[in-house]
């Protein structure tokens, strides 16, 4: 081979080797998608810091409208970060954008945490900022926000994103948007829920695009952005039902599919909403076992059969002749239809209304005052309560041994135990049965899953009012419609509504029940009660913790008037806004029609 050809070939090899080396170096140096998400996070964290600093510098000089614009700019930056801050730093998220209400930690119920963050700031900025005192409050609250941002900046070098966590975080943030964002939960004064939702969707699109996802996903997210930002609509007129079915659910499905196609694993963490669920609207999205204790009985057919038998067994109450089913009647949606049931003590009545057990498993706290966490403990508390069942589970064990059928039922349920008829197993079996009473297949659920023929226009209007103008969805969170807080559903909220003792609106008086206050004596919990589910509410009258209202019409009228404060009662700790909602009679009837669509079919319930 001629020398010049050999030299040419060697040159080509040299170039190719150099090119390969350059490509290798580029591949090594190029950030991974997760690293690019970290850059995105750091960039918007710096922007939030700058926006807050600029806001604070203009606190005392700017006009009210300018302050509101500054506030909006800051929270838009936070919405770019929310998916990550809520995921990795939930405590900081609560201090940055939690509700403007005092809180207590579950582990330290006596310690009150004052509210802080954007929602506190919003109340001042959009109410009456033009006083020196309020300007001082604005400056101080921005200080609080800046402190949290600076803490996040200090921790940023140690924050490592993974592919699976990023997809998990953005999915949870989309749940947050659906359940809290478009309901107005975190924008009660500014009413900027829709433009902020557009930012959340934009941020989601920008983050997932870093993973080279299929175009279908980014297209669907862009369609969601367009839907919430469509001209001519406002918070009240926004058609949330149409948004969820036509835009939001397809985006969630595309996100789920993209994660599978990119072979990014779903986390194995156990949560209320299964991590691999395509959406929190699908039939099996929620895992009742998440809310159960570690030693809960597995819901085998044998355990459930035993639990159902014990649920109807008067022996649990000793000589009192009362069973669980005496008050939680299966044919009455596991309620009893009474204002309050009778007490076993003398001729007295029980203090509180009997709640439904349908979906009672999907909450981390039980009883109106949230005094126990697990259904197993609730079973024990009710059986041992002298006014409710007046029994002793230790005695019930001996009595059940005398009834031949139970020896076989317990042996089949707890096969590995030498003596299965125990107090512990009674609790576990009844709790497992109650945990099986999950019903999430109402006509409304079917509508969200794609069958748009099952709801009338009035029911759809009622849902939109429920989630919008009527503000019901800010406490009864989608899709469980109870007070269990999305998107993790690991905390139950209680509210002070100012419920009157009776339905008399001309001469109302505040109900004497102190509620959660009786547990720890915390002032802001006086008259506080757990937010119950609205599912199957059409089947479970009377309503409220004391059964004061016989009809849903009375309940809607109470809320429309602004709760107890709106009725003229003195309720200093009321968490329900006391402003009148301005719902017309037709709008109230539409909401009631929607609530009725949350009833499961008789075949599914019974």
Q: How far apart are the C-alpha atoms of 422 and 429, rounded to whole Å? A: 11
Token representation of residue 365: 């706290």
Helix H or strand E encompassing 13: helix 3-29
How high is the pLDDT of residue 130?
A: 77
Q: How far apart are the C-alpha atoms of 289 and 310, rounded to whole Å? A: 20
Q: What is the pLDDT of residues 455-504, one digit of tens each?
A: 999 999 999 999 999 999 999 999 999 999 999 999 999 999 999 999 99
Q: Residues of the chain whose pLDDT is less than 50?
A: 3, 5, 12, 15, 22-23, 25-27, 603-606
Q: How far apart are the C-alpha atoms of 538 and 558, rounded to whole Å? A: 17
Q: How far apart are the C-alpha atoms of 393 and 377, rounded to whole Å? A: 12
| Residue 422: other Cβ atoms inside 10 A | 16
The answer to whether the beta carbons of residues 247 and 256 sit under 8 Å apart is no
Q: What is the pLDDT of residues 399-438, one digit of tens each?
A: 999 988 999 999 999 999 999 999 999 999 999 999 999 9
**Sheet strands (E) in 303-355:** none
Q: How far apart are the C-alpha atoms of 49 and 585, rounded to whole Å? A: 47
Burial 230-255 (b: 16+ CB within 10 A, else e): eeeeebeebbbbebbbebbbbbbbbb
Residue 142, phi then psi, degrees to nearest 5? -65, -35
Q: How far apart are the C-alpha atoms of 26 and 340, rounded to whole Å? A: 72
The answer to whether the beta carbons of residues 508 and 500 sit under 8 Å apart is yes
Q: How far apart are the C-alpha atoms of 302 and 290, rounded to whole Å? A: 21
| Residue 301: other Cβ atoms inside 10 A | 9
From the list 356, 292, 303, the residue with the least C-alpha distance to 543 is 356
The answer to whether the beta carbons of residues 448 and 479 sit under 8 Å apart is yes
Q: How far apart are the C-alpha atoms of 93 and 96, rounded to whole Å? A: 5
Cα 450 from chain centre: 22
Q: How far apart are the C-alpha atoms of 333 and 541, rounded to whole Å? A: 10
Token representation of residue 94: 């609560």
DSSP state of 422: -
How high is the pLDDT of residue 314?
A: 96
Q: How far apart are the C-alpha atoms of 105 and 102, rounded to whole Å? A: 10
Token representation of residue 357: 């057990």
Q: What is the pLDDT of residues 290-346, one digit of tens each?
A: 999 999 999 999 999 999 999 999 999 988 889 999 999 999 999 999 999 999 998
How high is the pLDDT of residue 111?
A: 78
How high is the pLDDT of residue 430?
A: 98
pTM score, two decimals?
A: 0.92
Token representation of residue 529: 């009660």
Which residues, other chains included, contact 440 with Cβ-Cβ below 8 Å and sequence gap of 6+?
Answer: 283, 285, 286, 359, 479, 535, 600
Token representation of residue 383: 């059986």
């Amino acid at each position: 081979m001629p020398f010049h050809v050999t030299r040419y070939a060697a040159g080509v090899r040299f170039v190719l080797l150099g090119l390969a080396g350059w490509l290798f170096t580029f591949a090594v140096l190029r950030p991974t998608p997760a690293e690019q998400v970290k850059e995105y996070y750091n960039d918007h964290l710096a922007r939030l810091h700058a926006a807050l600093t600029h806001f604070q510098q203009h606190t005392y000089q700017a006009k009210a409208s300018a302050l509101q614009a500054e506030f909006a700019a800051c929270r838009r930056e936070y919405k770019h970060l929310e998916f990550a801050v809520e995921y990795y730093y939930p405590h900081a998220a609560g201090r940055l954008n939690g509700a403007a209400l005092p809180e207590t930690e579950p582990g330290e119920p006596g310690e009150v945490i004052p509210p802080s963050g954007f929602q506190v700031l919003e109340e001042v900025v959009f109410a009456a900022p033009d006083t020196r005192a309020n300007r001082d409050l604005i400056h101080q609250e921005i200080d609080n926000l800046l402190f949290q941002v600076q803490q996040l900046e200090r921790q940023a070098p140690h924050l490592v994103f993974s592919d699976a966590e990023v997809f998990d975080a953005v999915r949870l943030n989309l749940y947050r948007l659906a359940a809290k964002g478009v309901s107005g939960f975190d924008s009660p004064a500014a009413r900027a829920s829709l433009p902020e939702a557009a930012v959340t969707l934009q941020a989601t699109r920008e983050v997932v695009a870093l993973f080279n996802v299929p175009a279908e996903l980014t297209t669907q997210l862009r369609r969601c952005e367009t839907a919430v930002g469509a001209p001519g609509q406002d918070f009240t007129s926004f058609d949330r039902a149409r948004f969820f079915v036509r835009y939001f659910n397809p985006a969630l499905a595309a996100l789920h599919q993209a994660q599978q196609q990119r072979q990014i694993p779903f986390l194995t963490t156990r949560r209320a909403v299964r991590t691999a669920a395509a959406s929190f609207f699908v039939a099996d999205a929620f895992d009742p076992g998440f809310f159960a204790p570690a030693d809960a009985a597995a819901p085998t057919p044998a355990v459930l059969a035993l639990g159902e038998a014990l649920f109807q067994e008067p022996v649990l109450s000793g000589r009192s002749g009362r069973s669980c089913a005496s008050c939680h009647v299966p044919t009455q949606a596991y309620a009893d239809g009474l204002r309050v049931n009778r007490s076993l003590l003398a001729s007295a009545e029980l203090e509180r209304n009997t709640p439904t057990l349908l979906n009672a498993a999907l909450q981390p706290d039980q009883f109106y005052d949230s005094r126990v966490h697990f259904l197993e403990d609730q079973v024990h508390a009710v059986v041992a309560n002298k006014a409710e069942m007046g029994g002793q589970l230790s005695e019930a064990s001996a009595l059940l041994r005398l009834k031949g059928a139970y020896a076989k039922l317990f042996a089949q349920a707890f096969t590995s135990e030498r003596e299965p008829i125990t107090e512990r197993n009674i609790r576990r079996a009844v709790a497992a049965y109650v945990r099986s009473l999950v019903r999430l297949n109402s006509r409304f659920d079917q509508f969200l899953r794609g069958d748009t023929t099952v709801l009338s226009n009035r029911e759809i209007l009622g849902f939109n009012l429920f989630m919008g103008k009527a503000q019901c969805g800010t406490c009864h969170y989608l899709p469980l419609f109870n007070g269990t807080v999305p998107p993790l559903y690991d905390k139950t909220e209680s509210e002070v509504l100012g419920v009157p003792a009776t339905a008399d609106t001309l001469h109302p008086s505040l109900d004497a029940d102190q509620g959660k206050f009786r547990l720890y004596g915390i002032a802001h919990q006086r008259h506080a009660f757990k937010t119950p589910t609205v599912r199957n509410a059409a089947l479970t009258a009377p309503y409220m913790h004391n059964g004061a209202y016989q009809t849903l019409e009375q309940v809607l009228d109470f809320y429309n008037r602004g709760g107890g404060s709106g009725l003229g009662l003195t309720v200093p700790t009321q968490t329900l806004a006391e402003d009148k909602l301005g719902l017309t009679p037709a709008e109230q009837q539409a909401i009631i029609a929607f609530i009725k669509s949350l009833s499961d079919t008789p075949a599914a319930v019974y």
